[in-house]
Chain A
Amino acid sequence: MEEFVQHFINGISLGSIYALIAIGYTMVYGILQLINFAHSDVYMIGAFTGYYFGNYISRLGWVTLPSWSAFFFTLACAMLVCGFLGFMIERFAYRPLRKAPKLNILITAIGISLFLEYTGQIVFGADPKVFPNLLNDVELFSSESGNVRISSFDIVILTVSVSLVVILNFIIFKTKLGKAMRATSFNDTWAALMGIPVDRIISYTFVIGSALAAAGGILVGIKYPKIEPLMGVMIGLKAFVAAVLGGIGNLTGAVIGALIMGLAEQFVVGYGSSTYRDALAFGILIVILLFKPAGLLGKFGVEKV
């Protein structure tokens, strides 16, 4: 039982990180019907921004590590950098292809993804780096037998993720920008006819999604402090699977899907074999697409004839 509780806690913690990345996939898919393959690498860049920035500010002596100010400072900076990166990717790689066949955009996305990965390997080096110690990990709770532990990292990860998701929900459902986003994702031609600057809305979508991915990168960095340029590949795929599982294009779905993914993975590792850990995501994906392609909360349109 205690083991189960521990896996559950780890699963939720992992799932909330997946959620931050899955949201980016689902937002872009909702608005462009594009699997943004580069999204996972934006997350990687987020982690590396955190790495360099965290080390830099501590060397300058602005803040001392570990501290809350260092953490939030780094988080904000990574989100800014990645937001800008997301904007640039959309502006220079995807926007020129707005009217091109879907396949071309998909190939471009794959190209951007590979480009970021391999440029990362050259610029950052292919070997893993140790993420700076931005926060101290404190054990907040430990059961008598010591089998169940809740660390402050788990709480930080959960709090930061939940807050960001709440803020995002506020933006999407309570602001004018959010309304424009929803309109664009419903039908971009009509949205444009209603005077919505579709291109700018799409840019915002990329900025927001990328910033969330960066937050995911920082949170992963503090919890699993080894980062490398290909770190985005697997986690990106899993987050994507989470988005599909929840029903792609649906925000709540992405969060639910991500939590399910995180839990499933922790339980497979905990009770089964860790070698099949990565195959699990694909297994889930294939089962979903074959039996309920719309995901848990999504719906599939009928092609007009």
Chain B
Amino acid sequence: MKQLIKANLIPVGIIILFGILTPVFESALDAYVQTIFIYCLINVVLSVSLNLVNGFTGQFSIGHAGFMAVGAYASAYVTMTYPSYLGGVMGAGGAEGILLQIQFFINVLLGGFVAAFAGWAVGLPSLKLKGDYLAIVTLGFGEIIRVILLNTEAVGGARGMYGIPKIANFFWVSSWAFICILVVWRLVRSTHGRGFLSVREDEIAAESVGINTTQFKTKAFVISSFFAGIAGGLFAHYLAYLNPSSFTFMKSFDVVVMVVLGGMGSITGSVISAVIITVLPEALRPLQELTQIDFRMVIYSLALVVLMLTRPQGLMGTKEISDYLKFFKKRGSSNV
């Protein structure tokens, strides 16, 4: 118990702090900045979770948007179909408001689990493939998920889903982003994480010391899909409508760019680059309005190529912020 409390006191405190800061956030910042902030955090969840597969486990997946879509649609569907199974009321304060929040939490979590299941179903057969074959199969599965959604009338088909209650706020999004970072951070520093890393380093050697590489790859893939689903649920309940066209492989590429730019195998890098990639287009908006041309994707793609040619390890390589703060860290304590 002692370790458990010691290790989790600060994280719980941080989440409470997010709760306290929420009203401040909502009143102090204008709506535009708030929106960008929320998208930054959702993208942090996506990039950090994809990094678990692409960076730490060394498997190259480019179908993350598919799992995000699964989570988004699953949670939104439950919210729309059973609007108040716990008795919560939208916009109400007190107990009813809290019940609604709890229900929202459950729905997003559910979306995560459905996405995790999809990740398992996709990962189990395809993760025995390597490198570019795996990449193209994940791309394929991501697209198939989208085509299925496009053809499912129960979730609106090509029209999409409208009128999803907008419940995701600063508190939820930042808490989930924090939880995602914390979970991935602690996982890669555990026996499971060492398993992931060993698969990345050398599969044959990993198997020779008893690591079931397929099992570890699947584990990483499932956890990664879970958080993609969470990000999807948050996205759905923030944007308030869903459309299959939000989850094309372009979205997957976006996330891949974040992971690669940040450095495959660096959580800090994923966070930084998720913020850069979200803010950059907004910062470039004046240029875009001036020229009437959308340079965003051209710059992305060019940046990706230049990055690979000049600094393939990304911004951070496999380093974390803690490596730079080692001075303050007590040597030898591996317990976060």
Contacts and interface: CB of A to CB of B under 8 A. Distances in A.
A–B touch (CB < 8 A): the answer is yes
Interface of A: 34-35, 93, 96-97, 100-108, 110-115, 117-119, 121-122, 240, 244, 275-276, 278-279, 281-283, 285-286, 289-290, 293, 303, 305
Interface string B288-317: 000001110110111011001100100000
Contacts of A103: 60, 131, 264
20 contacts: A35-B135, A102-B132, A103-B131, A106-B131, A107-B256, A107-B260, A108-B305, A111-B301, A111-B305, A114-B297, A114-B300, A121-B297, A122-B294, A275-B151, A282-B141, A286-B125, A286-B137, A286-B140, A289-B137, A305-B204
Contact of B298 (A106, A115, A286, A290): A115
B248 to A, nearest CB: 10
Given A107-B304, A289-B129, 20 more contacts: A35-B132, A93-B305, A93-B309, A100-B308, A103-B264, A104-B308, A107-B256, A108-B305, A108-B309, A110-B304, A114-B253, A114-B300, A114-B304, A281-B140, A282-B140, A286-B140, A286-B141, A286-B144, A289-B126, A303-B204
B304 A118 contact: no
Nearest to A93: B305
A119 B140 contact: no
Interface residues of B, number: 37
B132 A122 contact: no
Contacts of B293: 122
Contacts of B264: 103
Given A111-B302, A282-B141, A97 B308 contact: yes
Interface in B259-273: 260, 264
B192 to A, nearest CB: 23
B206 to A, nearest CB: 13
Given A97-B309, A111-B302, A115-B305, A286 B260 contact: no
B89 interface: no
A244 B264 CA distance: 28
B226 to A, nearest CB: 22
A8 to B, nearest CB: 26
Contacts of B62: 110
A110 B253 contact: yes
Contacts of B25: none
Nearest to A291: B125
Highest count of chain A CB atoms <10 Å: which of B129, B133, B136, B308? B308
Interface in B125-174: 125-126, 129, 131-133, 135-137, 140-141, 143-144, 147-148, 150-151
The majority secondary structure among interface residues of chain B is: helix
Interface of B: 60, 62, 125-126, 129, 131-133, 135-137, 140-141, 143-144, 147-148, 150-151, 204, 253, 256, 260, 264, 293-295, 297-298, 300-302, 304-305, 308-309, 312
A106 B301 contact: no
A26 B133 CA distance: 13
A46 B137 CA distance: 27
Contacts, number: 106
A285 B309 CA distance: 31
B134 to A, nearest CB: 9
A106 to B, nearest CB: 5
A110 B256 contact: yes
Contacts of A275: 147, 150-151
Nearest to B140: A282
Interface of A is mostly: helix
A105 B143 CA distance: 23
B209 to A, nearest CB: 14
A102 B135 CA distance: 12
Contact of A107 (B295, B297, B308): B308
Contact of B126 (A119, A240, A286): A286
Contacts of A121: 294, 297
Contact of A118 (B132, B150, B297): B297
A137 B312 CA distance: 50
Given A93-B309, A100-B312, A107-B260, A115 B301 contact: yes
A303 B203 CA distance: 11
Contacts of A101: 312
Nearest to B148: A279
Contacts of B308: 97, 100, 104-105, 107-108, 111
A240 B150 CA distance: 24
A108 to B, nearest CB: 4
B324 to A, nearest CB: 25
B126 A111 contact: no
Contacts of A305: 204
Contacts of B301: 111-115, 117-118
A122 B143 contact: no
Contacts of B131: 102-103, 106
Contacts of A279: 143-144, 147-148
A281 B253 CA distance: 20
Contacts of A303: 204
Contact of B143 (A100, A112, A244, A278): A278
A278 B147 contact: yes
Given A282-B140, A289-B126, A305-B204, A112 B298 contact: no
A130 B298 CA distance: 25
A305 B141 CA distance: 32
Nearest to A116: B301
Contacts of B256: 107, 110
Nearest to A240: B136
